[in-house]
Structure 1
């Protein structure tokens, strides 16, 4: 006597494998469309031109001898010029989280009477950050990768981001 096809375990195995591939493909498609990666750039040519412009600003900062010292302790960010002897009315300071764009933030900092820039930061920013410092005119730029908090001053020198 013959048994029905649906009573055979091999028949179910043959149906299950292609069905699981279809389900996995649909799940992958749904995940890819609902959680797009914000770090992927669509127009690579324009981004490449912008990178070249940024490298020009970094080289200009190197030529001018720009350098700063940074300290972040007890929720106070302190940045003091250590390079050329010049006063800056305003510094643009950007913090970029390496993997989570929503944690990025920016300060426009003005100097106190001694020429030191101070900012109180209420939120927790411990960990690794990429920082950029540029003047109001935006004709030079300094960028570094740092770890916070920093109880002692660390040097912020003009150099391109290293690939990690």
Structure 2
């Protein structure tokens, strides 16, 4: 009968290391997940659901008002500025300035609000660099009585046509 001889210490054998890889991998993955959760803010979760639900009715009324005025906007990003050309039904008065909101799809800290000065139907304002990605654009008058909204994807898309949400269903 042959005698079994241990040839070396346990840490030189591959089997203990293979057995330890799974728990160590789980611990590392858990630590990375925890680090990501603490580091990034989940901006998509709202604290005040009820108040936001009530605000939806006001938003719908603003969209309907824009539809009644037959408002439309052509948004263009030109070098370091943003231009908006407005059109409305005959007899409608365009405001002297517009408020433009740019909301990033996933990063609320990048959101911006810009006031556009008007000259007739053309409104313009300086615009710094915007991060790549999908942005939700919203244009409204200074009093917030109407709103036009739509998406734009940067850097590829340099212009967008915005129409009333209520007129899209027509």
Of 144, 149, 156 in structure 2, the residue corresponding to residue 138 of structure 1 is 144
Q: For the residues of structure 1 that align with 2:44 and 2:63, how far apart are their CA atoms?
A: 23
Residues 10-44 of structure 1: per-residue CA shift (max 9 Å, x gap): 23332332233233223322221222332333444
Q: For the residues of structure 2 that align with 1:79 and 1:29, how far apart are their CA atoms?
A: 43
The structure that has the greater radius of gyration is: 2
Alpha-carbon distance change, 61 to 87 in structure 1, aligned in 2, over 3 angstroms:
closer
Structure 2: gaps of 5 or more residues: none
Q: For the residues of structure 2 that align with 1:22 and 1:14, how far apart are their CA atoms?
A: 14
Q: For the residues of structure 2 that align with 1:80 and 1:20, how far apart are their CA atoms?
A: 56
- The answer on 1:14 being equivalent to 2:19 is yes
RMSD: 2.9
Alpha-carbon distance change, 124 to 18 in structure 1, aligned in 2, over 3 angstroms:
closer
Q: For the residues of structure 1 that align with 2:13 and 2:80, how far apart are their CA atoms?
A: 68
Secondary structure of the residue that 1:79 maps to in structure 2? strand
Matched positions, count:
155
Alpha-carbon distance change, 10 to 146 in structure 1, aligned in 2, over 3 angstroms:
closer
Q: For the residues of structure 1 that align with 2:158 and 2:131, how far apart are their CA atoms?
A: 6
Normalised by the length of structure 2, the TM-score is 0.71
Per-residue deviation at 1:93?
Answer: 0.9
- The answer on 1:97 being equivalent to 2:104 is yes
Per-residue deviation at 1:143?
Answer: 0.3
Per-residue deviation at 1:74?
Answer: 3.7
Normalised by the length of structure 1, the TM-score is 0.73
Alpha-carbon distance change, 77 to 6 in structure 1, aligned in 2, over 3 angstroms:
closer
Alpha-carbon distance change, 82 to 126 in structure 1, aligned in 2, over 3 angstroms:
farther
Of 62, 76, 92 in structure 2, the residue corresponding to residue 71 of structure 1 is 76
> Which residue pairs with 1:157 in the alignment?
163
Of 60, 64, 69 in structure 2, the residue corresponding to residue 55 of structure 1 is 60
Residues 74-120 of structure 1: per-residue CA shift (max 9 Å, x gap): 434222321133131331111223333333222122322x3432223
Q: For the residues of structure 2 that align with 1:7 and 1:157, how far apart are their CA atoms?
A: 70
